[in-house]
Amino acid sequence: MSQPEDHEATAVLTDQPGEAGDAPDLERALAQAEAKAQENWNSYLRAVAEMENIRRRAQRDVESAHKFGLEKFAQELLAVKDSLEMGVEAGATADAASLLAGKEATLRLLNRAFEKYGIVEVNPAGAPFDPQKHEAIAMQESPTAEPGSVLAVIQKGAELNGRLLRPARVIVAREPG
């Protein structure tokens, strides 16, 4: 029973006008669609390969940045080290004034290196105590200082591009009593 139905379907297709001439057009359209699909597949494969290359390159760049990120800063510190070594060598024969001048020059070198790389000193003398930037090591009565303010700085703090590296160690004023 299925054979007559198939035969009827074939007869219907061939009996319709224009159908016989459309077969080459359909085959051509199919071939074009397959060619376009292959072209798209190749483009996809190239894009995937390029993304993988970009990912690998980015990973290498990040690894290199981690490995050599401090290189320029280290070069700046070498000048400071050289200056300190010269001071130590001259220490036995130099007078106090020239040693002090050498220390001041070395400190300027270090401050320039810090400034160049965004390291800022936190010196809160007289400012209100800020637990986010200061570490209170003691409280001391003071008739002249505002209670809750920094009375003395024991050790200056430091920030790197706005991020705290080390809090300032301070003595905080309190009311006499």
Which pLDDT tens digit goes with each residue over 84-121?
998 888 888 889 898 899 999 999 999 999 999 999 99
Residue 81 has what pLDDT?
Answer: 93
Please, which residues bridge with residue 134 across strands?
168
Q: What is the pLDDT of residue 20?
A: 54
The Cα 146–Cα 149 span in angstroms is 6
Task: Point out which residues pair with 173 in neighbouring strands.
Answer: 140
The pLDDT of 150-154, averaged and rounded, is 96
Can you give the pLDDT at residue 1? Answer: 46
At residue 12, the pLDDT reads 46
7 pLDDT higher than 50: no
Instruction: Tell me the one-letter amino acid at 135.
Output: E
- Structure tokens, 107: 């400190």
- Which residues contact residue 168 at a Cβ distance below 8 angstroms, ignoring those fewer than 6 apart? 122, 123, 124, 133, 134, 135, 150, 153, 155, 156, 157
**Cα four-point dihedral sign 113, 114, 115, 118:** positive
Of the two residues 21 and 109, the one the predictor is more confident about is 109
What pLDDT shows up at residue 68? Answer: 83
Spatial contact of 157 and 166, defined as CB atoms under 8 Å apart? yes
Between 63 and 19, whose confidence is greater? 63
- Each domain of the chain, given as residue ranges in start order, spans 2-68, 70-117, 118-177
- Band (pLDDT 50/70/90 cuts) for residue 137 is very high
Residue 66 vs residue 44, higher pLDDT: 44
Q: What is the 3-state secondary structure (H, E, C) of 113-156?
A: HHHHCCEEEECCCCCECCCCCEEEEEEEECCCCCCCEEEEEEEC
Q: What is the pLDDT of residue 66?
A: 83
Residue ranges of the alpha helices (H) in the chain? 2-15, 19-68, 71-90, 96-116
Assigned architecture for domain 118-177: Roll (2.30)
Rounded to an integer, what distance in angstroms lies between the CA atom of residue 147 and that of residue 136?
Answer: 13
Q: How far apart are CA 94 and CA 86, in angstroms?
A: 11
